[in-house]
Amino acid sequence: MPSFQTSGRHGYSVQFSPFFPHRLACASCQYYGIAGGGTLFVLDVAQDGLRPVQVFDFSDGLFDVTWAENNENILVAAGGDGSIQVWDVLQPKGPLKILKEHSKEVNAVNWSQTRNENLVVSSSWDNLIKVWDVSQSQSIRTHVGHSHIVYDVVWSPQLPGTFASASGDRTVRVWDIRGGDSCAVLIQAHSEEILSCDWCKYDKNQLFSGSVDGLIRGWDIRSPRLPFCELRGHEYAIRRVRANPFLGTSLATTSYDFTVRTWDTSQQRMLETIQHHTEFVYGLDFNIHVPGQIADCAWDGVIQVYQPQSCVPP
């Protein structure tokens, strides 16, 4: 199982490249994100582990990263200083751009998943969501509505111009950039802060949320009053929920209980508990090239790449 030690850095987010099956990026912070800078790692899975291809330092913590879908060299990272930065793997001198509009830490960045759209959405401690065309110097939209920190934003893999957000105001919201400024769907999803959400890749109406209450819930955005599924098992807050790109009923989650767990949403049951970290587990991503392969990262400074049996499609 390939792994990598982000010495002196605490991992917050990992994402596999949409272009190369062996490449991933990790956004990390020095000193738990309390003080110091951040580092963006670009790593290749090699026979003997994960090897750094590029390592970018930044003046503030980096909390999330997303790969461009229209250029294999480009990444966008979320900064503790309220900026998003555009990085190029082949240009080690520094970010091509620093776009700073958020007034507080940026928690999440995500690049469009639908074809012919190349927008980045960012969410922040300042309660705002911004939509960017990173070839321009300013954001193209700001979405106001959440009354607390917005922890996660994810574009729909099927519905053009549509993304979901998860917030400390205990709601999950769905936004359509072609519509008005307000959200299209509002889900009173949990009784505690919601740290993550993701879309099912095979049912365009399904959305999953993970909360400080330790629960994962599945929602049909056409009837969001009650969840269609609820998954119990984590002992503490759920930090990240990600849906399997090869299997519509498969989820993986990371938690402050130091574990990663895998789930079957149709049977509403936990499949595997993976305990290879010794600290809060933050980042999680599925490889879209290797069925069932996962990368994760944690505050213990370890990035793991592995393939839980329960995530491999039959």
Tell me the closest approach of the beta carbon of residue 272 to other proteins, in angstroms. 21
140 versus 144: smaller Cβ distance to other proteins: 144
Cα distance between residue 11 and residue 2, in whole Å: 16
173 versus 242: smaller Cβ distance to other proteins: 173
Handedness of CA 78, 13, 31, 195 (dihedral sign): positive
Tell me the closest approach of the beta carbon of residue 219 to other proteins, in angstroms. 15
1 versus 90: smaller Cβ distance to other proteins: 90
The DSSP bridge partners found for residue 40 are 27, 56
User: Residues with Cβ < 8 Å from 136, sequence gap 6 or more?
Assistant: none
Render the burial of 237-264: b for 16+ CB within 10 Å, e for the rest. bbbbbbbbbbbebbbbbbbbbbbbbbbb
96 versus 140: smaller Cβ distance to other proteins: 96
How far lies 149's CA from each of 48, 188, 196, 275, in Å?
A: 40, 15, 12, 29
59 versus 136: smaller Cβ distance to other proteins: 59
CA atoms in the 13 A half-sphere facing the CB of 261 = 26
Tell me the closest approach of the beta carbon of residue 207 to other proteins, in angstroms. 15
37 versus 160: smaller Cβ distance to other proteins: 37
269 versus 275: smaller Cβ distance to other proteins: 275
Tell me the closest approach of the beta carbon of residue 35 to other proteins, in angstroms. 5
Asked if 2 and 37 count as a contact pair (C-beta separation under 8 A), the reply is no
Tell me the closest approach of the beta carbon of residue 263 to other proteins, in angstroms. 18
Handedness of CA 241, 242, 243, 244 (dihedral sign): negative
How far lies 221's CA from each of 130, 155, 181, in Å?
A: 22, 14, 18
Tell me the closest approach of the beta carbon of residue 143 to other proteins, in angstroms. 10
Tell me the closest approach of the beta carbon of residue 91 to other proteins, in angstroms. 6
Asked if 70 and 113 count as a contact pair (C-beta separation under 8 A), the reply is no
